[in-house]
Structure 1
């Protein structure tokens, strides 16, 4: 069997990788996968990919900066996201401190508040889209660059009025900070970007291995969708200090975004992220997202193992893609 080293960040939506290992799906697919210790950030993980410490990474928005810096990576599938719709963000939560004046269920009440996000990350993109949807601009709030592990303390001390962050951090913060409460969750404001990534040269030279890996990941995703409580137990084992009850709560939202297929919806989600970060001034350039997607291997898995995907919503008509697909943002192939 071929041996592959794969990486992940310590987040609930990346648990499909160790789940595939624990449930024996990699072995069944004919590939030996060594899962590296969870990396602190996506940037750390891409550094490991670049130096060949791992061959496959699970990464979101840090991929954008890497591509703009000249890295020749390809997207082979999703570890979180959706191929059937654009707006999916069920794993994103907004948590406010007691006395903040922010109204539960009313995101317009963020106006004038100090909002903690990791600048340049998916939670930053979520905030920007929320503001736009409610007729506000970034200057209508004070954006405080805050790493997820620091958000609880920042809320408790009044450094921020609300934290916007991915699971399981909203649950952890509510558990840690007395009086804190969930303002909102998800809402379809953004298309989540969370990709299975490899170096282009390696992926093209190891297509059989890539397909075997993606087959196992698809099997693990389906298992997690069908067995969220068991998947939460895997998360509690792999993510240090994660309370099993919080893992179960977070997994209920995570399974809604387990769709490894690639469609025009994923191209649109990445294009929107690139455009937003560029308009914000967080990145210096843009790129044609068509150049980084390689849908051929996951399409082959879908064709060979359709039963692994039969519980997922269908890809919208016209949004199907194949290798060489040229994405046109104006075509509106995935707008829901």
Structure 2
């Protein structure tokens, strides 16, 4: 789904901006993002004018996928990126950058899964079967976590390298026995008689969507960043308290129907400021990054293992 229904096709300029002591109206932020349902709080904040009320002028720059915003973030062309935690690990390990995670918008809570064809009702049934998965990326880590829980080894299956969309399509077409994919392919697979045998809901916070920043920017634009995150928190609260009004607003950004947004949100867990306090001030976010780093290092995807806590900056998250 992160490449199918998350993105806008052209460059979109969105000015927003709330009167708050956190920021002055002249302060600006350029945000790189992809059209992912987990950013519902961000989209609602923009549509409801929460950024404007916070006194921060926001320019949103759309990218095709969560990794595409990383190069312009590193080069300084944007101030913040809405991306995934694994991308932060990859770029920091490969290029020696020091990007920091300052907030989590959501975590996949079933929106990524292992689906199997009819008659294969558990991971154990996949022994000797062909499984489509994006090798050396975080959804392979999801598969490996599932195999581990089932008492299986990677060599027990026949892994075929495909991106999540291609894996979903191949599964629906009957070309593979199982696939590691995301929505809407999961729903299509189940509708066709397939079964979810393992999902991200069983490994909380493994696939985490985050806000990341260069340390230099976090210092020079600290007030604007704090205002931005406060507005996002307000947007997330609105999604929860006013779903009937929020669903059409998110649907507008995703270019889908409100009912589809409601269905998509079932597969993710949105995080507010209180949730981020537990994630970032506690050990969870750092442990997630540690798991990803160890996985990539074992696969030789990155040259060295990084320490998760070194990639977390909790200074913008209020303790509750």
TM-score by length of 2: 0.80
Shift of 1:256: 5.2
Match of 1:122 in 2: 138
1:153 CA drift (Å):
2.3
Structure 1 residues 158, 249: closer, same or farther in 2, change over 3 A? same
CA displacement 1:97-149 (0-9 Å, x = unmatched): 4x4x421xx23223222222333433222111111111111111222222233
Structure 2 equivalent of residue 72 of structure 1: 98
Unaligned 5+ runs, structure 2:
1-24
1:209 aligns with 2:233: no
Instruction: Give the C-alpha shift of residue 57 in structure 1.
Output: 0.5
Does 1:55 find its partner at 2:74?
Answer: no
User: Cα offset for 1:279?
Assistant: 2.1
Match of 1:94 in 2: 114
Mapped pair 1:16 → 2:16: no
Q: Secondary structure of 2:29's match?
A: strand
Alignment of 1:90-239 (within 5 A): 90-97=110-117, 99=118, 101-103=119-121, 106-171=122-187, 174=190, 178-192=192-206, 193-228=208-243, 230-239=245-254
Q: C-alpha distance in 2, partners of 1:112/1:229?
A: 47
Between the aligned partners of 1:90 and 1:211, the Cα distance in structure 2 is 30
Instruction: Give, in whole Å, the separation in 1 of the partners of 2:271 and 2:178.
Output: 24
Distance 1:286 1:185, change over 3 A: closer
Aligned residue for 1:43, secondary structure, equals coil
Aligned length: 287
The 2-side partners of 1:297 and 1:22 are apart by 23
SS at match of 1:71: coil
1:196: Cα distance to partner?
0.6
| Secondary structure class of the residue paired with 1:298 | coil
- 1-structure distance, mates of 2:52, 2:185: 32
- Determine helix, strand or coil for the equivalent of 1:7: strand
Counterpart CA distance in 2 for 1:209 and 1:56 is 11
**Residue in structure 1 matched with residue 17 of structure 2 by the alignment:** none
Equivalent residue, structure 2, for 1:247: 261
> Considering only aligned residues, what root-mean-square deviation do their CA atoms show, in Å?
2.5
* TM-score where L is the length of structure 1: 0.76
